[in-house]
Structure 1
């Protein structure tokens, strides 16, 4: 069997001017070292040692710039206590770095053993003849920006956003700064380090690929076996599903690597489905490698899902469709774009992933697009998506730039893509590989895209070879004569917000799959106070503007606020109104896409999360606090919604049904005044087909007795056996509405796991807020409107031992 030793303790780090020391000098240095955490990042080590101020606070980001200009050396002196009895007997010993950020040179026991220049892949070094009982390991990190600018000087400057030299390196592109993120260029051993010891043979990789047939499923198992011997050997492979041996084969293993394929037949398989469409069933897969005598040499374990995924592109009256089918069921994708969850990647642990994905599950997200300027996320992220039924649109890591096409760079990409596709293949959550983010749209309009061969040759050929059952798409956006066309492919709508257009323009979008759209808002006040000095809590202060990285981002906030919302009285109202504006904009676009269901295949808003505390497009801020837009998205992503649309002099009522069953119920439609009087009402029994969106009613404003669009609104509900959904529509922008004074009654009822808050009002009340300062609570809804005469119930969950404190601290306003 293989043996494993973690090398994640005992590390130290020190900075030098580039090129001023060599490894022999560093080996002898006893002073100047600080303790380093691995996995880690130099910034975090300096923060922990008190040698760096928090770069997330105020303008302190600028004080960290010197770190990217230094050469950093890591040192670890480690002992192998069982060297003679264990390690010395192994045929091969490898040193494996799961992640080095980025340009690294590795030395062991006085010898240079290799280099690394890609943070996205693992780096393996054969140290069989170099490892001892007592070992000294050094890792030198050259300053990334210096290395990249030297490449740029030799190869030529390419067009790219923010830091053009970044495109020459296989490093997280956002770390050089983005329009929502700081420039904090990571450096360090950012993933785990291991020693592996092998016998004659070991399993190098196992990939599982399923296909469905009329009566069952086929599961193809690809296994790559490494051999440390100099001749062909006989071995046996055993495959287990859910603990039962389903396949056994005798194989011939040739050095150094041999590939083997085993075919399994599964009768009556339990399929994996996205959230809302079925079960997220995962089979326990185990593969054992035995020698001729039946001794266990190695084993591989994973969980796999059996499912079929298809990207449907069929010509129709609008152009060509773009939607997904999973197990032959059309799925409307409700989701968001995901960026790295911290500027300092080693801080993103299982707890942070769990929290963010719970937020996603609760708000109805069934797809994340992993954006191409970040990273391929940790295994834990994809495992959780498998379990939650959240599909993943996986970009390769190329974003907003031209990229080199020389042979040496294409070879780096080929190696990276091979590693990544193999690493992630077994996750059923991944439904699409995508070549890049916005490169075709921004840099390929004249037909001469630098990097084109990467997205149309290198990447698709690797995906086809290793993972042919999963669709590949060259870019996002992409399709049609214009890469951002409405009639086919996927589309990014940045005409609203970035191009200053009105929110109402969303209602005209005919995109076939909207993979980006968004609207900025500040985070909650609690988060703002953690990064902004108290004397700068005002719109336009230096700290607030520094924490909005988009050019003219602060100006856009004001432009849209003045166009849509009342004049704020102070900074907190400015924050709240900006947040409500974001909530409104996202709801408008999501409902538009859902009404066009399968004419539009999905709506992925930009963006779900943040990498630092910032004014951005996110709905969950860096400190994991939801903005008002989170709750608007939650409502817009419910399996069944009512959508109300103003059309010239009338109202259309749509019901969007994402369930796989027909719905029958009663539609109630009212026109009301904000003071609470009912002007007109109608009820209608109707049915809505499974997995469709249908216009169920239309009426003129005149017949609905609406005479003042500033004092009246429309309210609708659909009551079914399964429950009731509702929605309402303003007939003017909010800044022009004449709302009544806020008044409501509240009752609080204890529950086993929290509280139920019941609210009611005789008048319309805009954006009711529930807060529990200093407590961790989960709210079923927040920032909601109260409809006159309609009771609103909100569930508040908390730890049982905190129930009395939560009840005492609860604020409803």
Structure 2
């Protein structure tokens, strides 16, 4: 039987003769932090002080003994970051140059000092650039010349911390006769039965030994003979319960066990979990252009998505528990699709396991983002090798529903002056239209592949044409008002978003001792977007009087503006289902404390946007939309059952006077949108009036003027303590009330975000982690709209 021994103890990391204890898995930065040799790069402007780490060579060492009673011993690295030379007692075992691959070295009978020497990723990238020539990219760092997590080199939300190290587990494997080298599971559904085909590849020490494989799943057992180096086991599971995305059904998972035998001797065992489901991508042309609709088990979905970046710039620090917490936050916000963005990594099994269990669909980018990638060697062979390994590794997970070739590179070629600058040089098209679809079709024909995002499906159209395929909406954030989201109906919005700073307690921890201001040194350092603060300011000034010199007000208003911007897009696009079939917000999470587009900041605190997503992505949503010069109420019902009832429409003044009120019936079938016309006499007149729509505990609001023009009354409300929180009772209109619980205590969390109260209404806000509740303290942490100053 194969025996695996983790190699986690006794490691050191050495640089220029000095050695210090190392944690494996880990990276150089985390080891240096533990040893107190570098400051925390997440704090202040320390990032710049540790830039030297990425420019050095580092060597990890430990003692290794491979004497064992088995015929073969292998040294297995699940991940090396990135360019390394592996030696044992001075003997070269091999060289690596890809963070996204695993490596196996034969060390049978060997022992001595194991050394893994990492060359600077900069040195490798610059050497490859010298060989293949310059390629354009969105950023100046040379990330496109090395198969490494691109955002290690910095991004418009991330620090430049170029890592090195043994970033995934390493182990010794001892085995005899044969071992399971690879299992490729094809899981399908036909006529109500689950079909499992397990293609097994083996590695042998004895060619003549007769081998068999036996598999079990769902109480069904089958076996097959291994012919040479492989075999195929097929099983049928009658009446298999289907795996569904959250909100559509349950997520039953089935244990699969495959055993390799030589006679009665068990040589090796492979175990995974699978789920039975079908997935299609409907890209048929129609009267509106070309669709992009996910279809799971025959059900057509409006995808309620978020983009995922690595949850830490040092990904070895992300534990199974942290993955589960972050993804559970996504599920609790109504998310049903997570896009793993192409500037990061293929995540660990823990990520996909959590998605399987939570019913979160996974859209997986191949790791290419915002750059022209050379197709010459040594990169081309690495790209195919990593794709082959990771496609097979991730295939068992039912949550994985889509392979995507790249992020924004087709768009970049067409619009970012790449075509002229490349002058015929390779730039990655051969990967996205050749290598990757070929590998996906060969190894994993059960899932769709799309060439890139955005991609209109053909070079005959603009790659980012909103009428065809996937669309990235960035002109709004960069240059326009978020109201412009309502000017088009893309078929699938795979990226859009709006910035806001992180929570106040996150800023206080990240910028100790700094007097906070939008343009204070630390705030500017933790704002990586090009003209990010300028865009935040212009976005505010379209709606509010800019709060000069008032950081707390600026912090609150930018949080409000982020939530409102994303709401403007999602409400509009959801109201146009099934023409628009999904929104994927940029972004769910952060990898450090930073002003960014995230809904959950780098310390794991929820911004108001996160709570707003819970409303926007709920099965039922009311939204008031302007259509052809008049108002209508869109009743969005993503649940399976019909939603019928009456909506109460009120035209009100900001002083709280009801000018007009009617009740209108509605009925929205399951997975559909119903539209209810708003009578002309209900439409608000001037900035003093607004419209309220209420039905079944849900509310939609329409204010016809920007906040800076609205004569809000000075907000008046009462605050009282309740078990586990506070209750706020409004005596005037209180718009966008927000309790910033982390101002009460860094560990305090509120259970809701922005809420608007009409006179006489009340809301109870749950608060956990608040050790000494106090009503006046709570009042000081409450923010809302005030009269323009």
Q: Same fold (TM over 0.5)?
A: yes
Equivalent in the alignment of 1:28: none
Match among 376, 392, 415 for residue 422 of structure 1: 392
- Distance change in 2, residues 1:705/1:630 (3 Å): closer
Q: Could you tell me how far apart the structure 1 residues matched to 2:767 and 2:342 are?
A: 37
TM-score, normalised with respect to structure 2: 0.94
Within the alignment, does 1:462 sit opposite 2:439 as a pair?
A: yes
- Distance change in 2, residues 1:389/1:705 (3 Å): closer
Q: Could you tell me how far apart the structure 2 residues matched to 1:187 and 1:70 are?
A: 9
Contact 1:676 1:762 in 2 (8 A): no
- Distance change in 2, residues 1:103/1:519 (3 Å): same
Q: Could you tell me how far apart the structure 2 residues matched to 1:217 and 1:240 are?
A: 13
Equivalent in the alignment of 1:744: 717
Other structure's SS at 2:615 match: helix
Cα deviation code 1:533-571 (max 9, x no counterpart): 434411212221111111111111111111112332611
Q: Could you tell me how far apart the structure 1 residues matched to 2:164 and 2:672 are?
A: 49
Equivalent in the alignment of 1:761: 730
- Distance change in 2, residues 1:75/1:676 (3 Å): same
Equivalent in the alignment of 2:565: 585
Equivalent in the alignment of 2:170: 193
Q: Could you tell me how far apart the structure 2 residues matched to 1:367 and 1:437 are?
A: 17
Equivalent in the alignment of 1:6: 6
Match among 36, 47, 51 for residue 22 of structure 2: 36
For residue 492 of structure 1, report the CA deviation from its aligned partner: 0.1
- Distance change in 2, residues 1:543/1:757 (3 Å): closer
Equivalent in the alignment of 2:623: 643
Equivalent in the alignment of 1:784: 755
- Distance change in 2, residues 1:579/1:630 (3 Å): same
Equivalent in the alignment of 2:787: none
Match among 542, 547, 551 for residue 563 of structure 1: 542
Cα deviation code 1:199-242 (max 9, x no counterpart): 212222223222222332322222222222132x3223222224
Match among 443, 452, 459 for residue 429 of structure 2: 452
- Distance change in 2, residues 1:252/1:378 (3 Å): closer
- Distance change in 2, residues 1:62/1:778 (3 Å): closer
Other structure's SS at 1:666 match: strand
Q: Could you tell me how far apart the structure 1 residues matched to 2:57 and 2:453 are?
A: 36
TM-score, normalised with respect to structure 1: 0.91
Within the alignment, does 1:526 sit opposite 2:505 as a pair?
A: yes
Q: Could you tell me how far apart the structure 1 residues matched to 2:610 and 2:253 are?
A: 30
For residue 790 of structure 1, report the CA deviation from its aligned partner: 3.7
Within the alignment, does 1:506 sit opposite 2:485 as a pair?
A: yes
Pairing of 1:430-441 with structure 2 (within 5 A): 430-441=400-411
Contact 1:566 1:736 in 2 (8 A): no
Q: Could you tell me how far apart the structure 2 residues matched to 1:789 and 1:808 are?
A: 20
Other structure's SS at 2:31 match: helix
Q: Could you tell me how far apart the structure 1 residues matched to 2:750 and 2:603 are?
A: 17
Match among 726, 731, 742 for residue 699 of structure 2: 726
Match among 470, 479, 491 for residue 471 of structure 2: 491
- Distance change in 2, residues 1:12/1:806 (3 Å): farther
Aligned length: 768
Contact 1:646 1:731 in 2 (8 A): no
Q: Could you tell me how far apart the structure 1 residues matched to 2:239 and 2:333 are?
A: 32
Contact 2:79 2:169 in 1 (8 A): yes
Unmatched segments (≥5 aa) in structure 2: 783-789
Match among 202, 206, 211 for residue 225 of structure 1: 202
Pairing of 1:41-56 with structure 2 (within 5 A): 41-56=27-42
Q: Could you tell me how far apart the structure 1 residues matched to 2:554 and 2:728 are?
A: 26
Other structure's SS at 1:140 match: strand
Cα deviation code 1:514-537 (max 9, x no counterpart): 000011111111111122243441
Other structure's SS at 1:397 match: coil
Equivalent in the alignment of 2:685: 707
For residue 164 of structure 1, report the CA deviation from its aligned partner: 5.2
Equivalent in the alignment of 2:273: 303
- Distance change in 2, residues 1:41/1:809 (3 Å): farther
For residue 455 of structure 1, report the CA deviation from its aligned partner: 0.7
Q: Could you tell me how far apart the structure 1 residues matched to 2:683 and 2:573 are?
A: 29
Match among 231, 239, 246 for residue 215 of structure 2: 239
Pairing of 1:613-692 with structure 2 (within 5 A): 613-647=593-627, 650-692=630-672
Over the aligned positions, Cα root-mean-square deviation in angstroms equals 2.0
Other structure's SS at 1:93 match: strand
For residue 260 of structure 1, report the CA deviation from its aligned partner: 2.0
Equivalent in the alignment of 1:21: none
Contact 2:211 2:261 in 1 (8 A): yes
Pairing of 1:288-367 with structure 2 (within 5 A): 288-292=259-263, 294-367=264-337
For residue 778 of structure 1, report the CA deviation from its aligned partner: 5.2
Q: Could you tell me how far apart the structure 2 residues matched to 1:422 and 1:790 are?
A: 55
For residue 198 of structure 1, report the CA deviation from its aligned partner: 1.1
For residue 749 of structure 1, report the CA deviation from its aligned partner: 4.3
Contact 1:158 1:165 in 2 (8 A): no
For residue 290 of structure 1, report the CA deviation from its aligned partner: 1.9
- Distance change in 2, residues 1:779/1:571 (3 Å): closer
For residue 804 of structure 1, report the CA deviation from its aligned partner: 7.0
Unmatched segments (≥5 aa) in structure 1: 17-30
Pairing of 1:178-217 with structure 2 (within 5 A): 178-217=155-194
Cα deviation code 1:715-759 (max 9, x no counterpart): 11122xxxx322212211122222122222345543xxxx36443
